[in-house]
Amino acid sequence: MAETPQGQGQETLSNLLQESRSFPPPADLAADANVQADAYDAASADRLRFWEDQARRLQWEQPWSNVLDWNPPFAEWFTGGKLNAAVNCVDRHVDAGRGERVAFHWEGEPGDTRTITYADLKDMVCQAANALTELGVGKGDRVAIYMPMIPETVVAMLACARVGAVHMVVFGGFSVDALGTRLDDSEAKLVVTADGGYRRGKPSSLKPAVDDAVRDRPAVENVLVVRRTGQDVEWNEGRDVWWHDIVDRQSAEHAAEAHDSEHPLYIMYTSGTTAKPKGILHTTGGYLTQVSYTHWAVFDLKPETDVFWTAADIGWVTGHSYIVYGPLSNGATSVMYEGTPDTPHKGRFWEIVQKYGVTIAYMAPTAIRTFMKWGEEYPAQFDLSSLRVLGSVGEPINPEAYMWYRTHIGGGRTPIVDTWWQTETGAIMVTPMPGITHGKPGAAMQPIPGVVADVVDESGESVPRGQGGFIVIREPWPSMLRGIWGDPERYKKTYWSRFEGLYFPGDGAKRDEDGDLWLLGRVDDVMLVSGHNISTTEVESALVAHPNVAEAAVTGASDPVTGQAIVAFVILRSEAGDGGSGLVKELREHVAAHLGPIAKPRQILVVPELPKTRSGKIMRRLLKDVAENRELGDVSTLTDAQSIQTLQEAFQESGKSDE
Ligand code: WT7
């Protein structure tokens, strides 16, 4: 390993991981790709004009007079323009004679299915929009949506967009408290929910949580309830309304008003690391422009022939942008799946790919690593030859997980697009392009055309090739957040104060010798070991590269000698058994051999599970508490609070006997 120059350790991330594999796009895909290399040239020659060209992919009822009004850090895009997001996602395709195209192949967890065409969707959205009007919900009102993954969730979002109400989707796995604080902050007047949904083979209720949350919140005037599971529900006369009672009797005609380009479309809360969740605000014209463009460009979408599947929940921004607004604005056919990947068996995802002939699949590295752990025999049972592009989102994808995905899911043919973005960016920002880029396992590669990203050091200077630092965005982009709901100061402070005039997403990154970008996780997670800033991602990737390791989480724990020391928690692949006593030593040596002795973990603990948020991100903050023998911090956003306690006990038992 090259020694970091004196004094640099505090300022830049060490660049430890060496990865030389690279995969050119398949020739046929490259020849026919929606986006060719000239897109980058066009965008750098005239960025605003490039985005205007992309905005023209949409249907505007009134053209914009100005592309961008930029009063840092507040941006307005396509001002003066008017459009309706629901019309763009639905009516437009029906009007063009494509009403019979399938919008969603919906698959319920118990195996029930629904096929929804664009014509069906148009009727459903219009009826729901009329129902919202009857319930007194109009332009600018906030509507909370707390739903399972069923078509009505999409319909409710689009009905809001149609009438100009602002939707605020809360993930159905969140607690009463999480729902309640979001209702307070957004001042929603309607909650759309269901009796329940199916998860892990059984009905899981939603309505009781809404009842609890709404009890002391008179601002919520109505609760609109979809019947999904048939579970018994308590009924609050005068407040609760069945979806089938009010929506089904509405007219399927609805004249949609065109809204201002900057009219609020939705609020999506991100928890961040501190107390109060941030209500990230997205508006209409710019957001739709960039999600529509990226969905078409990054996945090389051919709407006539592709079957697209984002295996994520609509309760996350990934679902908003790439289950709802991106695919529908492009007239795509998508799969939507209600349940979990191991119900009723561990091949469920691959069975769905085979059944619907999915051509493009998009999922999180945490899912991919879980599939690695289960073993390649599950996907091997199904015909996955329809797949032509694979996507990854939500976390850095370790090179080994990338290789597994490419090999066992993509049959060694498919390009993988490792898409870096955030709730705040609204749409994909840094990614390979499937028809152009020679993809490198673990690298998000380059900003998309029209996005200006950079990697800078502590003082905001661009770092040279071969060095690490902080990723920043230098110019406003169409789908950027317009602010934090009700808190402009927090918006400025969180994103725009670290580096003068630059948007700081909070992630570490490095620029390799070719100028390509590698995202290295949240800077809060970076470890400072003997004066070297080392990214948790690189150490985790080195561990996952060992044939016995499926998943790894790394954290820095305070250490009297080195400042911080590296502590790792690993999950073994199923064929590795319990690993045996020699394995930990072997893994420590393996990391040292891969990244250099500085990155050798002080301790490694083999665990059955890792603490994750409900969106699948590892909670390193809690692992740090464990590693430093501290009382655990806030565990309320964990999927399974018990697992971390078990892990803590195991850690305390293991002592420091690894030496
Ligand atoms: C954070 C944003 C992107 C929508 C879903 C998550 C991490 C996301 C990648 C990637 C490395 C990634 C970043 C980012 N992240 N994608 N491809 N490579 N890191 O949205 O919950 O707002 O999280 O997820 O740390 O800041 P989110």
* pLDDT tens string 81-139: 999 999 999 999 999 999 999 999 999 999 999 999 999 999 999 999 999 999 999 99
Q: Identify whether residues 113 and 244 lie together within a single domain.
A: yes
Q: Is the pLDDT of residue 141 over 70?
A: yes
Q: Which residues of 199-215 are buried (b: 16+ CB within 10 A; e: fewer)?
A: beeebbbbbbbbbebbe
Q: Identify whether residues 341 and 453 lie together within a single domain.
A: yes
pTM: 0.93
Say what the pLDDT of residue 274 is: 53
Tell me what the mean pLDDT of segment 286-311 comes to: 98
Domain contains 263? yes
Q: Identify whether residues 543 and 619 lie together within a single domain.
A: yes
Report the percent of the chain where pLDDT is more than 90.
84
For ligand 1, atom 2, which residue shows the shortest CA distance?
Answer: 422
Its domain, for residue 108, covers: 27-507
Domain contains 12? no
Q: Identify whether residues 465 and 538 lie together within a single domain.
A: no
Report how far residue 650's alpha carbon sits from residue 657's, in angstroms, rounded to the nearest whole number. Answer: 13
Could you give phi then psi for residue 197, rounded to 5 degrees? -145, 175
Helix residue spans in 36-194 (DSSP H): 38-45, 47-55, 85-86, 92-93, 118-134, 151-163, 176-186
Domain contains 97? yes
Band of residue 655 on the pLDDT scale cut at 50, 70, 90: low
For ligand 1, mutation pick of 282, 421, 440, 479 (most atoms within 8 Å of CB): 421
**Higher pLDDT residue, 279 or 525?**
279
Q: Is the pLDDT of residue 285 over 90?
A: yes
Distance 322 CA to ligand 1 centre (A): 14
Distance 444 CA to ligand 1 centre (A): 11
Strand 102-107 and strand 113-117: the pairing is: antiparallel
Q: Identify whether residues 544 and 484 lie together within a single domain.
A: no
* pLDDT tens string 349-371: 999 999 999 999 999 999 999 99
To 5 degrees, how large is the angle CA 642–CA 648–CA 650? 105
Distance 394 CA to ligand 1 centre (A): 4
Q: Identify whether residues 352 and 215 lie together within a single domain.
A: yes
Band of residue 557 on the pLDDT scale cut at 50, 70, 90: very high
* pLDDT tens string 36-52: 999 999 999 999 999 99
Say what the pLDDT of residue 7 is: 37
For ligand 1, mutation pick of 363, 420, 480 (most atoms within 8 Å of CB): 420
Q: What is the CATH number of the domain that holds 63?
A: 3.40.50.12780
**SS3 letters across 583-641:** HHHHHHHHHHHHHCHHHCCCEEEECCCCCEECCCCECHHHHHHHHCCCCCCCCCCECCH
Report how far residue 384's alpha carbon sits from residue 352's, in angstroms, rounded to the nearest whole number. Answer: 10
* pLDDT tens string 413-437: 999 999 999 999 999 999 999 999 9
Domain contains 239? yes
Q: Is the pLDDT of residue 656 over 60?
A: no
Mean pLDDT (the chain) is 93
Q: Identify whether residues 370 and 251 lie together within a single domain.
A: yes
Q: Identify whether residues 448 and 548 lie together within a single domain.
A: no
Q: Identify whether residues 475 and 559 lie together within a single domain.
A: no
Domain contains 251? yes
Instruction: For residue 521, give the ligand 1 atom closest to its CA.
Output: 25
At which of 479, 507, 535 does a domain end? Answer: 507
Say what the pLDDT of residue 642 is: 77
Domain count, the chain: 2
Say what the pLDDT of residue 633 is: 77
Kindly list the protein residues whose Cβ atom lies closer than 6 A to any atom of ligand 1: 270, 316-318, 393-396, 418-423, 444, 505-507, 519, 521-522, 615
* pLDDT tens string 144-185: 999 999 999 999 999 999 999 999 999 998 889 889 999 999
Strand 453-456 and strand 259-260: the pairing is: unpaired
Say what the pLDDT of residue 90 is: 98
Band of residue 515 on the pLDDT scale cut at 50, 70, 90: very high
Q: What is the CATH number of the domain that holds 637?
A: 3.30.300.30
Query: Distances from the Cα of 493 to the Cαs of 173, 469, 476, in angstroms?
Result: 30, 20, 17
Q: Which of the residue ranges 118-127, 340-349, 616-625 would you say has the lowest mean pLDDT?
A: 616-625
* pLDDT tens string 587-597: 999 999 988 89
Q: Identify whether residues 459 and 563 lie together within a single domain.
A: no
* pLDDT tens string 233-249: 999 999 999 999 999 99
Among residues 149, 143, 173, which one has the least CA distance to residue 161?
143
Token couple for 134:
């009857």
Say what the pLDDT of residue 639 is: 73
